[in-house]
Amino acid sequence: MLGRPRRSLTYERLVIHEYFDPYVEPAPEYLILGLPDAGLVGSIASRYMVINLGLKLVGEIDSPVYFPPVSVVHKHTPMSPLQLYMPENRKFMVLLSEAPIPVPAIHPLSLAILEYSREIGVKTIISISGIAVPNRLQITKPKTYWIASNEKTAELVKELKLEKLNEEFVVGPYAVILKEARRRGINNLVIFVESFFDLPDPESAAEALDTLSKIIKVEIDTKKLLEEAEILKIQTRELMKQTRKAMTEMQKKYEMQMPLMYQ
């Protein structure tokens, strides 16, 4: 069971509780974000990493102002729905959210993630997202796109021959993190995979993990994820329902149309 945190940092009425020493070398090279959005692609991918790579809980993010009074219980331990995990070698950190991000929390959470990443020496933030396409049922292998906050970060996908996202709306926490990362000179890469809008999409999450694996040079076998896809769709049905409501409120469907000046 978790004890008291080693340190608690406050960012705009959001609190990050740490259960590890962030100043022990090496600092995590990557912070991987798995927040609920289209198809729950990021949520499913990050959950799979935590379970199948045996990651250790190293932190929580909470707020008495922005988040509802909810506690999730894992292995007899109550904790926030927003959790930070890391492997023993500290190569990367994963932010997993087991609840939709309330709209009022989007900006403060996004800025807190950027500031905290800089505080602990993270080199690159990688966001995993679904991008809804109307013909998802007809797509056997979902396509993967990317966008980066700067040229240095773009080098991470140079050898993968993926298509760059050129003209699109991006909505939600990943949108705020991306534009603020560009302004602040922070490395941020967003991986988008074609997905359903409001149906859990483990197959798209597997595609995202295959790409992520090549970027961070960590083997992630997605065979089990694909084998358990139908079970996962049932298990995440309620989270998808709650996320759909949040996405509608933040106008996530904007991502399905082209910006006006490029039409």
What residues have CB less than 8 Å from 228, skipping those under 6 apart?
202
Q: Which two tokens stand for residue 53?
A: 């790579």
pLDDT of residue 251: 65
Inter-CA distances, 238 with 100, 124, 174, Å: 11, 31, 22
Candidate CATH numbers 3.40.50.720, 3.40.50.10860, 3.40.50.10900, 3.40.50.300; the one for domain 27-262: 3.40.50.10900
198-215 per-position pLDDT tens digit? 889 999 999 999 999 999
Rounded Cα–Cα distance for residues 113 and 33 (Å)? 9
**Stretches in the chain below the pLDDT threshold 50:** 253-254, 256, 258-263
pLDDT of residue 206: 96
Cα separations in angstroms, 239 against 98, 195, 220? 8, 16, 24
What does the alpha-carbon distance between residue 137 and residue 112 come to, in Å, rounded to a whole number? 37
On whether the pTM is more than 0.85, the answer is yes
What is the length of the chain?
263
**pLDDT for the residue 167:** 67
The domain limits of the chain are 27-262
What is the structure's pLDDT at 34? 93
pLDDT (0 to 100) of residue 252: 53
Q: Is the backbone of residue 68 left (phi > 0), alpha (psi -120 to 50) or beta?
A: beta
> Cβ distance 162 to 248 under 8 Å?
no
